[in-house]
Structure formats: C-alpha cells, structure tokens
Amino acid sequence: VSTQSTGDVSEEGDVTSRGVRVSLTLRQCTTEPCRCDYPSQCDSQNYGKPRFSVESEADAAKIEGEFVSDVYEEIADHFSHTRHSPWPGVVDFLNSLPSRSLVLDVGCGNGKYLGVRDDILVIGNDNSANLLSICRERGHETFACNALSLPVRPALCDGVICIAMLHHLSTRERRLRCLANLASLLRPGGRCLVTVWAQEQHLDDGEIGRREFPSQDVFVDWQKKQNAADAELFYRYYHVFREGELEDLVREVQGVEVERVTYEKANWCCVFRKT
C-alpha cells in the first residue's frame, strides 16, 4: 500500500488529512501441527510436501519409486507393526472362495492375508523385499515383483486380492493396466477383490463430507519413530478414489464383470469376476 502523505480522498474528491492509525494483529500460537480446515491453502500443512506432477511414464515410475517403493523399504518393520488386523471385508471375500482354491495376493505387504484360511493356498507378491522378508519369517510363500508386470501365466487363479495397493499407481493408465493384469490371472469364474483409499473419508459413520483429501493425488506423511526427537519423515504417494471411479475403471477391463462395490472404513472396494 503506497504511503499517502497528503491524506484520504473521499468519493467527492475532498481530501482529508490523515491522523495516526493504530493497527492491531492478533495471533494465536499453537504448539501442535496445524489442523485447520483449509489444508490446500495452509502453509503449515503443506510445508515440505512434494508436488505432484506426472507428464510421462518416466515421471510416473519416478514418483512410484521415490514415494512408494523406496518408502516401504525404509519403513517396512514399523509399517508391519501397524498392519496386523485383517479387515473383515477381505476375510469375508477369502472365505467366499471355493475350498482348495489357488489365490494370489498382489501387493501382499507383510503377509497379513496369506494365512487367513487353512484350506486355500495363497501366494503373495510385493515390490518390497523387506516386507517380503517379514512374510517369510511368518512362513508364507512369496515372490518379489512390480504389479504392473506380473511374471505369471494367465488364467491360473481361483481368486486374487489387491488390497490397498492400486492407489499407489500415479496415472489412470497404469491403474487400468494393473487391473487388466489382475483380471488376466483369473480362471473363468475366478474372482478378484480390489480395495483403494477413498477421497471421501467418512461416508459410513454419519459425518458425510466431514473430511476429504484436498485433492486426489496426495502425499501422506509417515513418521518412522515414535518420539519427535529423532523422527524421520517419509511421504507416500496416493491417488485417492472418488465414488464410482474404481467401478468405472474395472468396467473398462475386458472379460470381467463387476459383482459389487462397497465402501468400508474409508476405502472403496470392488469385487469383479472373470467371465
């Protein structure tokens, strides 16, 4: 604001001389991270966060390398400790498969779902060697690979699960490619459950729209240590899905039909069947 030593100018053109002005700014100091309702405008909430920008396959691979694969390798043990309770929806799906089924868990993480049922054979795969080591310690069979390229012959599986993995792919085309890969694993009649984080975070507890991710491509932080003194901060990339988005994507895959879509604990879940 430029200084006006002469004074204020009124609408009629009169000039009044300026007096002393007193300006008061009231600030509130917080001792905790900001949780204001304007995360996408907030400097504190966005401080240090990476920016999402993907214009090529190389960009996509880079984001998924730096903000997914590498992070999971670093946080594997800590991450595994926080992932111990199987979700009922996934358990229900596994229980709905025929006895003596052959199942692949794509993006199996710490192997939480590999031993849920005694009478089916579930093989896990994941991109993180450290997470697979945890699976091995627990006595499960796994192999390492990226879900965008599965080294498996087609049409062998009675069931496939892909839990909280698809949302780490940074372009629509890659997400679609992954779904097509999952579909190709299935025998005719075989079924797949896919779950992804929802942009809408509270649809099932009455607080509709109460909290949403500010955009669909987000970086979510992870603190490696408990105490703040030597906490190491990592960011994981997520593409969070809007209502209908996962279903629409599955409908673009050849040879499958959608069985059901549900919202469970802030995740969109879709079951589809190979025709």
Partner 1 sequence: QWYQRRVRGMKLLTHNMMKSHCKGVVNGFPLKLSSTQVEVKEVEFNADFITRMLERLEWGALVDAASQLGVADGLPEMAPSSGKEVDEEEDVLRKIHHVLLEVEITEGELECPETGRKFPIKNGIPDMRLNEDE
Q: Pick from 21, 51, 84, 153: which binds partner 1 (CB under 8 A)?
A: 153
User: Which two tokens mark 230?
Assistant: 């030597």
Check the CA dihedral 134-265-71-59 and report its sign: positive
Distance CA 50, CA 72 (A): 17
Spatial contact of 123 and 105, defined as CB atoms under 8 Å apart: yes
Least separation in angstroms between CB 80 and partner 1: 16
Asked if 140 touches partner 1 (CB under 8 A), the answer is yes
Site residue total, partner 1 (CB under 8 A): 34
Distance CA 27, CA 11 (A): 34
Place of tokens 């700014």: 25
Binding track, positions 44-63, relative to partner 1; x by CB under 8 A? --------------x--x--
- Which lies closer to partner 1 via its Cβ, residue 140 or residue 175? 140
Asked if 152 touches partner 1 (CB under 8 A), the answer is yes
Asked if 191 touches partner 1 (CB under 8 A), the answer is no
Asked if 129 touches partner 1 (CB under 8 A), the answer is yes
- Which lies closer to partner 1 via its Cβ, residue 39 or residue 115? 115
Q: What is the dihedral of CA 136, 140, 145, 148, to 10 degrees?
A: -140
User: Which two tokens mark 83?
Assistant: 């992932």
Phi, psi of 5, rounded to the nearest 5 degrees: -75, -20
Distance CA 25, CA 168 (A): 43
- Which lies closer to partner 1 via its Cβ, residue 7 or residue 255? 255
Least separation in angstroms between CB 223 and partner 1: 27
Contact residues for partner 1, defined by CB under 8 A: 58, 61, 99-100, 102, 114-115, 118-121, 123, 125, 127, 129, 132-133, 136, 138-146, 149-153, 156, 187
